[in-house]
Amino acid sequence: MKRRILLALLGVLFLYGLVSFFFTRNGSDQDKSIPSYVNGPSLLKNPQDSVLASAGPHYQISKAGEFFLGEHYRKIWAVPVKAKVFHMGEARGGLSIEKLGGGMQTTSLTLTDAQGRLFALRSLDKDPVSVLPAFWRKTFVGSFVRDQVSATNPYAALVVEPLAQAAGIFHPNPELVYVLPSDKDFRQYSGIFGNKLFLMEEKFTSKASLTKEFGPATDLVDTEEMLVRRFKSSRHRIDQWAFARARLLDMLVSDWDRHEGQWDWAVYPQGKEVWYKPVPKDRDQALCLYDDGLIPWLATRKFAARKFESFHANFKDVYGLTINAAFLDARALSEVTLIDFRRLAREMQVKLSDSVLRVAARRLPPPVYQLVGEETFQKLRSRRQQLVQVAEEYYQILAKEVAVVGSDEPERFVVQRLSQGRTVVEVYRLGTGNVNGAKVYSRTFFATETERLNLYGLNGDDIFDVKGSVNKGSYVYVYGGTGTDLVIDKSNVDGWRKKTVVVDETDGTKIQPGPITDAQLASSASDVPSFVRFRIR
């Protein structure tokens, strides 16, 4: 299967090589609706105030090229928009350079103000070619990857902000700015940043960036730190329902690139527990259009790069929107039920009224709105109407295999197999003498939805109680982790399959097996699958 996918992608790229040679030169059929002055900024009355500039006029190609490579958002990359000139000494009360940032695609600077708050200055244009091996970067493959930046809407983050605000989701407040050529405030970076359009927005990475919108939050941490704390103690809890709400907004705007690096977390002490609420960031892939040209259409089929889902009036592939977020979804949505997803989707439908969607679309710069504003509004409106159905499908994807994760502290996992294919999983903190303490997890699963339940004890001395005799039920995999673990399996499911599977080390694991227990024990920790500890990758 992987070989067929590779051959298909190579075929697509070969076709691109031919197309790029013959059709991607700017020809006589280039769109005349794009003004002739897009190749450079035009200063307005006060050159220190604002400019007219385009985000990426170099994405213009011939009509024949567009047929093969996609029209995408080439027109809005080329159209000049008004942008405020960025002055580092004046913006946000005065800023200074903290460090050069950016991932493999974006040119960015981290800036700081006098209070220690951090801000990101992120380029609208990207160069994703560094994701490729060095050999391919100067070939037609690198050219194809660069060209497909035109499938993204450079102003999408401006649209997402009012949607997040209305939906009750934390968000940065991006501002479109332009950096003058050879701006001396940028010192050694002036050659990199000069004469470009950027989005300026807050970075929610430390307590200094907390605003009144965060209420009683005491800190801001990244995903890795949040997961480290969560896995260390069950007293650290993820607000999974807030995360589900944020993920539904991702679905609405077709933002498929929601890996763990795209989130920060606000910290809320509540009694003896600490809760973490999600703060989304980096909306580079919202509202993108990848599949309107022959070659990218082939490249984004389910047999190839499925995750590059496009923003259409109707959802085409919900699973594709979940691929990049699968790691974090598995760790931060295991408590959210179908009823929860339906409720959250309906609430979002009410909050995102037509007037809110209209305001969001109007956040596009006026020349861009003239090109795609009404279309963007109508797509958002259509997708909003489908949100409950999408939430149900999203839930079904998540429910197929679910991880129930303990912590490095002692816990008792209680699994009850019940009639009609139901399986109830509860997790308790263990006190002195193995007495159950507070319940930290509870959910009912259904065999028609969930094929496999993975229970992770992580570190600590954990107890796993599995009981109940039924006609049908889900597989239950027990990953004890380090520590001294006890597995008691008194369950039975009709049929020949052994549906309680214990994966752990031989030393430190005691099993009281039942008729459906399959003990897969290894002599050393190195022989146990690396995901036993379920840590950050």
Query: Is there a single domain that holds both residue 326 and residue 411?
Result: no
Query: Is there a single domain that holds both residue 182 and residue 259?
Result: yes
Which phi and psi (to 5°) does residue 133 adopt? Answer: -60, 150
Query: Is there a single domain that holds both residue 392 and residue 415?
Result: no
CA R_g for the chain: 26
Q: Which domain holds residue 224?
A: 2-397
Q: How far is CA 371 from CA 253, 365, 367, 382, in A?
A: 18, 10, 7, 19
Is the pTM higher than 0.75?
yes
333 and 398 Cβ atoms separated by less than 8 Å: yes
Tell me: the pLDDT tens digits for 369-401?
A: 999 999 999 999 999 999 999 999 999 999 999
Using DSSP bridges, classify how beta strands 263-270 and 401-405 pair: parallel, antiparallel or unpaired: unpaired
Structure tokens at 416: 């009850």
Structure tokens at 82: 């008004």
Which residue is associated with the tokens 């949607």? 163
Instruction: Label residue 407 by pLDDT band (50, 70, 90).
Output: very high
Predicted pLDDT at 64: 79
Which of 347, 369, 397 is the endpoint of a domain? 397
109 and 120 Cβ atoms separated by less than 8 Å: yes
Helix 387-399 with 374-385: angle, nearest 10 deg: 60
400 and 338 Cβ atoms separated by less than 8 Å: no
Predicted pLDDT at 191: 83
Mean pLDDT of 111-140: 78
338 and 239 Cβ atoms separated by less than 8 Å: no
The SS3 assignment for 147 reads helix
Query: Is there a single domain that holds both residue 393 and residue 407?
Result: no
Mean pLDDT of 237-246: 98
Mean pLDDT of 163-170: 98
Q: Which of 63-77, 320-334, 343-357 comes out lowest in average pLDDT?
A: 63-77
Q: Which of 10-19, 24-33, 204-213, 460-469 comes out lowest in average pLDDT?
A: 24-33
DSSP string, 27-95: -TTS-TTS-TTTTS-EE-SSTTTEEEE-S-GGG---HHHHHHH--TTHHHHHS-EEEEEP-TTTGGG--
Tell me: the pLDDT tens digits for 31-67?
A: 433 333 334 555 554 556 899 999 999 998 888 777 8
Which residue is associated with the tokens 């592939």? 317
Query: Is there a single domain that holds both residue 432 and residue 460?
Result: yes
Nearest to 452 by CA among 487, 476, 469: 476
Instruction: Label residue 415 by pLDDT band (50, 70, 90).
Output: very high
Query: Is there a single domain that holds both residue 389 and residue 439?
Result: no
Query: Is there a single domain that holds both residue 449 and residue 314?
Result: no
Read off the amino acid at residue 474.
Answer: S
119 compared with 190, residue with greater pLDDT:
119
Mean pLDDT of 332-351: 98
Query: Is there a single domain that holds both residue 437 and residue 383?
Result: no
Q: How far is CA 424 from CA 12, 244, 392, 404, 418, in A?
A: 48, 21, 21, 12, 8
Tell me: the pLDDT tens digits for 89-112?
A: 999 999 999 888 765 456 789 999
Structure tokens at 484: 């001294």
Query: Is there a single domain that holds both residue 388 and residue 431?
Result: no
Distance of CA 459 to the CA centre of its chain: 28
Which residues have a Cβ under 8 Å from the Cβ of 407 and sit 6 or more positions away?
A: 230, 231, 232, 233, 234, 236, 458, 459, 460
Query: Is there a single domain that holds both residue 392 and residue 429?
Result: no
Read off the amino acid at residue 428.
Answer: Y
Mean pLDDT of 455-475: 95
Mean pLDDT of 105-121: 88
131 compared with 157, residue with greater pLDDT:
157
313 and 296 Cβ atoms separated by less than 8 Å: no
Read off the DSSP letter of residue 400.
Answer: T
Domain count, the chain: 2
Mean pLDDT of 359-377: 98
Query: Is there a single domain that holds both residue 268 and residue 405?
Result: no
Mean pLDDT of 323-327: 95
- Round the average pLDDT of the chain to a whole number and report it: 87
Predicted pLDDT at 23: 47
- End-to-end, the C-alpha distance of the chain in Å comes to 25
Query: Is there a single domain that holds both residue 299 and residue 419?
Result: no
Which residues have a Cβ under 8 Å from the Cβ of 2 and sit 6 or more positions away?
A: none
Q: Which of 130-139, 455-464, 509-518 comes out lowest in average pLDDT?
A: 130-139
Could you tell me which residues are beta bridge partners of residue 477? 454, 501
Please state, in angstroms and rounded to a whole number, the distance separating the CA atoms of residues 442 and 412: 12
Which of 350, 365, 397 is the endpoint of a domain? 397
Please state, in angstroms and rounded to a whole number, the distance separating the CA atoms of residues 259 and 331: 12
275 compared with 521, residue with greater pLDDT:
275
Mean pLDDT of 248-256: 97
Q: Is residue 168's pLDDT more than 90?
A: yes
Which phi and psi (to 5°) does residue 224 adopt? Answer: -60, -45
Which of 346, 381, 397 is the endpoint of a domain? 397
446 and 430 Cβ atoms separated by less than 8 Å: no
